[in-house]
Amino acid sequence: MFVHSVYFWLQNPENEADRDALNAGLQTLKTIDAVSTVYVGRPAETRRPVIDHSYDFALTLVFTDKAAHDVYQEHPTHLQFVADCSHLWSRVQIYDSVE
């Protein structure tokens, strides 16, 4: 299993249209066949010193293996998402893990 966790910080987090646009873009990634599981979320209302809730959106993708992840990276829908939405974020942080 290959897990791809991506965190996004919006350029204008107070702008609801930007939030909606990024969320809509993230939702398109659910259509990519190489992805086994997709989760799109916002920070939970948990407050402990070890929790970073400074991001605006989280994307978690689960793949069967790294090869499926590599297919996703070059998939036209993923590339279109980046082209359409990259102007919305100021920062992206990615954590990949394997089992």
- What does the alpha-carbon distance between residue 17 and residue 15 come to, in Å, rounded to a whole number? 6
1-16 pLDDT tens trace: 999 999 999 999 999 9
**Count of domains forming the chain:** 1
CATH code, 69: 3.30.70.100
User: What are the DSSP E strand ranges found in the chain?
Assistant: 2-10, 37-41, 57-63, 89-98
Has residue 49 been placed in a domain?
A: no
Amino acid occupying residue 84: D
Q: What's the alpha-carbon Rg for the chain, to the nearest Å? A: 14
55-75 pLDDT tens trace: 999 999 999 999 999 999 999
Q: What's the predicted TM-score (pTM) here?
A: 0.94
- What does the alpha-carbon distance between residue 75 and residue 32 come to, in Å, rounded to a whole number? 8
Has residue 17 been placed in a domain?
A: yes
Distances (CA, A) of 17 to 10, 13, 25, 29, 58: 11, 10, 12, 19, 18
Mean pLDDT of 44-62: 95
Which domain, by its residues, includes 69? 2-44+54-98
